[in-house]
Amino acid sequence: MHVQTFAREKKAPFIVHFAPSRGCITAIVALAFQRCYGGIAQLVEHTTENRGVPSSSLGLAIAQRPASAGRCRLSRHHGCDAIDRARHQCLDRACTPLRGLWSESHPQIPLRATIAEPLTAPSPLPAQTRAASVRLGVADLQQSLTWYDRWFGLVAHETQEPGVVALAPVGGITVLELIERPGVGPSDAKYAGLYHYALRVPERGDLARWLAYAAQHRLPLVGAADHFVSEAIYLTDPDGHGIEIYWDRPRTLWEGQIKKMTTLSLDINDLFGELETLSVAHEAARVPAGTDMGHIHLQAGDITAAGQFAREVLGFDLMLEFGRQALFLSTGGYHHDLGINTWASRGTPRPPSTIAQLEAVQFSVPTADAIIGLRVRAQQAGISSSGDDTEIRLEDPSGIPFIFRYATDPEFGLRDERIRT
């Protein structure tokens, strides 16, 4: 194996190419860094034989920051330029790729996290409450359906609501709803709304197969990270909606240690060690039937108001807090069912109707009493709501619609037990 480095024109990255000494497959994953860096990085992967089992070795080229780049768009909040922000763990979506794949030679200094004190009373939401799905507006429905089928193997299903199409893994439950909004522009990170939704796959090998397929077919990604509680890959769909695909480490490894949840380099070489081959067919790369919505991460205009709504009205427990920038909340001791941040959206409203955006966040609860409790807390807070005995709809302070439904799915408890224990 040898390494070649090519310096390109201004605003172009250094490209590090690992040339395999044997005839093994090579895949390139383009990582978009345009927002802070005005260039891209390319990840070049190859396999070698190791004790008779194929493994992988990756090289990462970090995009070269042009001298004219100046300060990044969030420097007014964090007081550091783009490179410093990456090295000091400033948690902005534009720097997620650099955070997740930053060289070991650059020390990572995480923001100071505050672990929430245990509550003296149980959460108003039942422990089995889970994120169910998100509803997204898209410019071209057919294009989106084709994209989600190709990269995740999600299949479309009709819904009872006109114009809304549900997507689910083959044999699985709905994780996503799409509605066509012709003519809208791509999602814009400066507004309150979706940061990302997170598809959770059951096994580590599922994540490895998906990444191998994505690399093989050159799907652009925006990041990868080890969060201690999980391993995750990040990307966006054709309308710019943020997506995370991840698997959880066994709960016994992180129970009671949520404060360790951070962002470190993902060991992709070790991840690919789950596979016997990196040549993955589309059918094998489909997310399995057990894939669900692991969590939903939002951008808010006001972190204090959003946090109060999530805790006092919705009834989530606060698990972790990063200063006045981000909150991670859950039920049943999970690391987070709901994330909220103001890294790019502080003081901003919901996007205009001309932009593709999050149109609803949906959670499932295991009892009808949970719906009653939500309605009572909303009334006490002076927040209007709608729905019936099995559903409630209300909006958070940023105007993001939340829908909670009583889950009548007989497998609900089984899936929850698998994930949370």
pLDDT tier at 283, thresholds 50, 70, 90: very high
- In this prediction, residue 380 carries a pLDDT of 94
- In this prediction, residue 134 carries a pLDDT of 98
117 found inside a domain: no
Tell me how many domains the chain contains: 2
65 found inside a domain: yes
Residue 97 pLDDT > 60 = no
- In this prediction, residue 257 carries a pLDDT of 80
Least Cα distance to 289 among 407, 164, 154, 409 occurs for 154
- In this prediction, residue 323 carries a pLDDT of 83
Residue at a domain's end among 61, 78, 95: 78
23-75 pLDDT, tens per residue? 233 233 333 323 332 332 333 333 333 323 333 333 332 222 233 333 332 22
Do the Cβ atoms of 54 and 278 come closer than 8 Å? yes
Considering the domain architecture, whether residues 37 and 142 belong to the same structural domain is answered as no
* Residue at 75: amino acid letter: S
Considering the domain architecture, whether residues 222 and 73 belong to the same structural domain is answered as no
* Mean pLDDT, residues 201-206 taken together: 96
Considering the domain architecture, whether residues 295 and 378 belong to the same structural domain is answered as yes
Residue 382 pLDDT > 70 = yes
85 found inside a domain: no
161 found inside a domain: yes
Q: How far apart are CA 335 and CA 196, in angstroms?
A: 16
273 found inside a domain: yes
Mean pLDDT over the full length of the chain: 75
129-147 pLDDT, tens per residue? 999 999 999 999 999 999 9
Beta bridge mates, 168: 155
Distance between first and last Cα of the chain: 43
In percent, the amount of the chain with pLDDT more than 70 equals: 67
Residue 100 pLDDT > 50 = no
Residue at a domain's end among 78, 113, 140: 78
Q: Provide the residue range defining the domain that includes 398.
A: 130-420
Considering the domain architecture, whether residues 316 and 199 belong to the same structural domain is answered as yes
Choice among 10-14, 243-247, 295-299, 326-330 with the minimum mean pLDDT: 10-14
C-alpha dist (Å) from residue 248 to 200, 227, 260, 284, 350 = 7, 9, 14, 20, 31
268 found inside a domain: yes
Q: What value, to the nearest 5°, has the Cα angle with vertex 46 and ends 44 and 51?
A: 150
Least Cα distance to 211 among 154, 144, 267 occurs for 267
In percent, the amount of the chain with pLDDT more than 90 equals: 62
User: For the domain that residue 299 is a member of, what is the CATH number?
Assistant: 3.10.180.10
pLDDT tier at 262, thresholds 50, 70, 90: confident
Q: Which residues contact 373 (CB under 8 A, 6 or more apart)?
A: 124, 125, 315
Residue 98 pLDDT > 60 = no
- In this prediction, residue 259 carries a pLDDT of 81
Compute how many other C-beta atoms are within 10 angstroms of the C-beta atom of residue 187: 22
Considering the domain architecture, whether residues 199 and 300 belong to the same structural domain is answered as yes
* Mean pLDDT, residues 380-395 taken together: 95
Considering the domain architecture, whether residues 262 and 325 belong to the same structural domain is answered as yes
pLDDT tier at 261, thresholds 50, 70, 90: confident
- In this prediction, residue 123 carries a pLDDT of 59
163 found inside a domain: yes
Ramachandran region, residue 200 (left: φ > 0; alpha: ψ -120 to 50; beta: rest): beta
Least Cα distance to 405 among 360, 351, 357 occurs for 360
Considering the domain architecture, whether residues 25 and 167 belong to the same structural domain is answered as no
Considering the domain architecture, whether residues 267 and 360 belong to the same structural domain is answered as yes
- In this prediction, residue 113 carries a pLDDT of 52
Q: Which residues contact 230 (CB under 8 A, 6 or more apart)?
A: 246, 247, 248, 249, 335
Considering the domain architecture, whether residues 71 and 156 belong to the same structural domain is answered as no
* Mean pLDDT, residues 276-294 taken together: 94
Tokens of 338: 């709901």
Considering the domain architecture, whether residues 7 and 139 belong to the same structural domain is answered as no
pTM of the predicted model as reported, rounded to 2 decimal places: 0.74
Choice among 53-67, 243-257, 262-276, 329-343 with the minimum mean pLDDT: 53-67
313-369 pLDDT, tens per residue? 999 999 999 888 999 999 999 999 999 999 999 999 999 999 999 999 999 999 999
Considering the domain architecture, whether residues 139 and 53 belong to the same structural domain is answered as no
89 found inside a domain: no
Residue at a domain's end among 62, 78, 94: 78
Choice among 99-108, 182-191, 294-303, 405-414 with the minimum mean pLDDT: 99-108
Considering the domain architecture, whether residues 230 and 364 belong to the same structural domain is answered as yes
